[in-house]
Amino acid sequence: RLDLGARGDACRGMALLWGLFGGSLVAASCLRASVSAEAATSTCRSTMRCEAPVVIAGPMEKNVLSILAAVVDVLEAAELPHFLDYGSALGAWRVRAVLPGDADADIGIILGDYVQAAEVLRARLPAWLEVCEMPLEVGPNESAAVRQLAVRRREQPGYSSISASSPPRACHEKPNVDLYPYALQPGPAGALLERADLADR
């Protein structure tokens, strides 16, 4: 659970409140700009400046960042609230990029916007990317509300990274961008965000 009782400093990496309390998704905008090494001069959504230097360690991180940039472009064009999550929020805070060694990026989306986000991404992502679904998580007492989605590169025509006897490529295989659905729940200090794709929440 993520406590949303206090509003954070968005351009310093924890841009979690866009669309909830009038905040803005700044960290993803800063990360997206770093694809073309412009983050140091990129104006963020909240008009604050990204001051930390950009650190992109290698080909894997650049690959993840290119997928993240495409996803953020589509979500922002559709004006769908979203935020950096987990290691991606930490990477925005520490290095203004994907953390060195990370093979994925993480974006959170409010549950009420999740179906629309999936539809928009399927319709508008560049042809080299696709949306896939994780298996529905089922626990002993309850099931998850929705399947978690991810965005990954499509297999190139005429080329497969798996042999004919191998199982199909799993949705969770890296590199990808994980899209986590969050339900708003009442909390003692305001609202709480709770993952809706987990069986034991």
The pLDDT value recorded for residue 199 is 83
The pLDDT value recorded for residue 57 is 74
Closest CA to 150 of 177, 190, 183: 177
Name residues of the chain where pLDDT drops below 50: 1-27, 29-48, 162
Cα angle 67, 108, 13 (rounded to 5 degrees) comes to 80
Of the chain, the end-to-end C-alpha distance in Å amounts to: 9
Question: Taking a C-beta distance cutoff of 8 angstroms, is the pair 45, 24 a contact?
Answer: yes
Residue with tokens 């669309």: 19
- What pLDDT digit, counting tens, does each position of 135-164 carry? 999 988 889 999 999 999 998 765 555 455
The pLDDT value recorded for residue 93 is 86
Which H or E run includes 2?
Answer: strand 2-3
Question: Taking a C-beta distance cutoff of 8 angstroms, is the pair 45, 11 a contact?
Answer: no
The pLDDT value recorded for residue 11 is 31
The pLDDT value recorded for residue 119 is 98
Q: Provide the CB-side half-sphere exposure for 183 (13 A, CA).
A: 12
Helix (H, G, I), strand (E, B) or coil at 141: coil
Q: Provide the CB-side half-sphere exposure for 11 (13 A, CA).
A: 14
Which backbone phi and psi does 191 adopt, to 5 degrees? -105, 150
